[in-house]
Structure 1
Amino acid sequence: MADTAQHLDIGRVLNNTFGVIKRNPLIFLGLSFLMVALPQALIQMATGASAVGVDADAMTAMFSSPSMIGTAFGGWLLFVILSILLQATFIIATVKDLNGQAVNLGECVTQALGKILPLIGLGILMTLGIMLGLVLLVIPGLILALMWIVSSPVMMAEDKGIIDSLKRSAELTKGSKRWILLLFVVYMVIASVLGLFMMPFAFAGTVGVTIIGLIINTLTGAIQGTGIAAVYVDLRIVKEGGNTDALANVFA
């Protein structure tokens, strides 16, 4: 029977998010480190961005050198693709875990790779739509971001096309946008607390900044990727009742 509240349960999403990571730390934290934190650190070192916070000349050099600009763009493109692949992998792994199934890293990555091109197309369309909405007095962009937040999980779990994934996400998030926004605020507070704990490393200069980036990006990458999947699962339960059996069968 569906949840009569008919909106996202923040407590359940948080419990599921951190529970999944706790049960599979090597997969979620390890992948987040390899596919988000480490690439970001390497890009920063290649472009000199890691020194921007401690050396003003590094910022000038970064934006005045064509090679640096090219390296930054190439690194950014690689980072986006890796982030999309990571999100898709976490969606599959999260659903399997919440259904009590063993999480096989190889299977999750293989299934995610099979959807990488449609996911990239979805990401481009979402970005353009949200950016346009932000230009139009900000609020429309925020609404679109909340409305489309589970488009990627929809595409992975329900095998829908780009437009249908956006429509389905809008349907699932109806009535829960304020709760999703509140969940974002909770995650921001968590990220801020993590940042405070990492502050002492900042006094070690560039090395300290790099260490802070690796730790925070690993943690936030895992939490963000798992959290979006957990939001999708919770919205399915709220809107349609039952559990994650039907989703798990998709990834069987």
Structure 2
Amino acid sequence: MEAGRRQISVGDVLNETFSIYGQNFGALIGGAIVVFVLVGIASGLLQNSGGLVLGTLALIVELVGRAIFVGFVVRLVEDVRDGRRDHTVGDLFSSASDAIVPLIGFGILFGIGVGIGFILLVIPGLFLLTMWSVGAPAIVVEKEGVIGAFGRSWNLVRGDGWRVFAVLLVVFLIGLAVSAVLLAIGNSIGNGASLVAGIVAAVITAPIYAIAVSALFFDLGGGGQGASAQASTATAPPAA
């Protein structure tokens, strides 16, 4: 068994996910706003300008933004698992910066592989989505390469696939419910409010999945924390 690995409990992972979210709400939402709003504006301007080159640049901007945010959240979860956040938001973004390129590469291959799996009667896509779910944290924390992250994730998840899948499913349903409510409110208001509601939904829900897969990574023995790490129940105020 992986050193530091502990039995995955769907309830425990979800409790830790929302505990970390609540205690670090300002940092997470602030980071999401900076990344997704600014990236969304830049990407939108490039796409509206038209042309294949600018469209490709818009896609690259989006990929970079998502990679930055994932790296930031992984570092934040790693930091708070001792009971408090010791590093500032700037420190966390900076410490994840060297993982941006491999995270982008992993994200592209992950999307292609899972997408092909969904085309093949859905089940293979769900299987790959589960088995590769903790590849991004492996890149950030353990400095795995793009290809190595797939194998590392597979080895960590193996034996706990159903529990990991259950966590991912619940997180997906929660995000879907939040987005549906906000979009319904936006549609009822009209006058472009649905666009704003979509952005707000993305900002609010983006940290949930990233925190959950980070918690899973450490619980499965990644980074050598596993059972030795305590779920975040900070009583001291986090760093600014």
The answer to whether the aligner puts 1:218 opposite 2:182 as a matched pair is no
Contact map agreement 2:219 2:227 (CA 8 A) in 1: no
Equivalent of 1:109, from 63, 69, 93? Answer: 93
For residue 61 of structure 2, what is the aligned residue in structure 1?
78
Specify the SS of the correspondent of 2:219: helix
Q: Are 1:165 and 2:149 matched, yes or no?
A: yes
Partner of 1:177: 161
1:171 CA displacement: 1.0
Q: Which amino acid aligns with 1:26?
A: G
- 2:33 paired residue number: 33
More helix by share: 1
Structure 2 regions of 5+ residues with no counterpart? Answer: 231-240
1:133-174 Cα distance to aligned partner (Å, 9 max, x none):
333333222211111100111121122222322111111111
Alpha-carbon spacing, 1:169–1:196, altered in 2? closer, same or farther (3 Å): closer
Q: Do the aligned partners of residues 47 and 27 (structure 1) sit closer, same or farther apart at CA in structure 2, a change above 3 Å counting?
A: same
Partners of 2:10 and 2:163 within 8 A in 1: yes
* Structure 1 contact 121–162 (Cα < 8 Å) conserved: yes
Asked if 1:140 corresponds to 2:124, the answer is yes
SS of corresponding position for 1:115: helix
**Whole-Å separation in 1 of the counterparts to 2:211 and 2:203:** 12
User: Compared with structure 1, are the counterparts of its residues 71 and 125 closer, same or farther at alpha carbon in structure 2 (3 Å cutoff)?
Assistant: same
Which of 178, 183, 200 aligns to 1:194? It is 178
The code of the aligned residue for 1:130 comes to V
TM-score, with normalisation over the residues of structure 1? 0.77
Tell me: CA distance 1:125–1:188, structure 2 relative to 1, closer, same or farther (3 Å). Answer: closer
TM-score (norm 2): 0.80
Structure 1 portions without partners, runs of 5+ = 49-65, 246-252
How many residues were matched structurally? 226
The 1:68/1:207 distance shift into structure 2, 3 A limit, reads farther
Q: Relative to structure 1, is the Cα distance of residues 190 and 241 closer, same or farther in structure 2, using a 3 angstrom cutoff?
A: closer
Cα deviations across residues 48-72 of structure 1 (Å, max 9, x unaligned)?
7xxxxxxxxxxxxxxxxx8176655
Q: State whether residues 218 and 225 of structure 2, in contact with CA within 8 Å, keep that contact through their aligned partners in structure 1.
A: no
Letter in 1 for 2:94: T
Change (3 A) 1:42 1:203: farther
* Distance of 1:192 and 1:126 partners within structure 2: 21
**Contact persistence 1:6–1:175 (CA under 8 A):** no
CA-based RMSD: 3.0
Shift of 1:46: 7.1
Could you tell me how far 1:83 is from its partner in structure 2? 0.4
Higher Rg of the two aligned structures: 1
- Decide whether the 8 Å contact of 2:21 with 2:207 is kept in 1: yes
Quote the residue 1:233 is aligned against: 218
For the Cα contact (< 8 Å) 2:43–2:61, is it kept in 1? no
Please say if 1:244 is aligned against 2:229.
yes
Q: Does 2:192 correspond to 1:207?
A: yes
Name the CA distance, whole Å, in 2 between partners of 1:202 and 1:43.
23
Q: Is the 8 A contact 1:97 1:103 kept in 2?
A: no
The answer (yes or no) to whether the contact 2:172–2:209 under 8 Å persists in 1 is: no
Q: Which residue matches 2:24?
A: 24
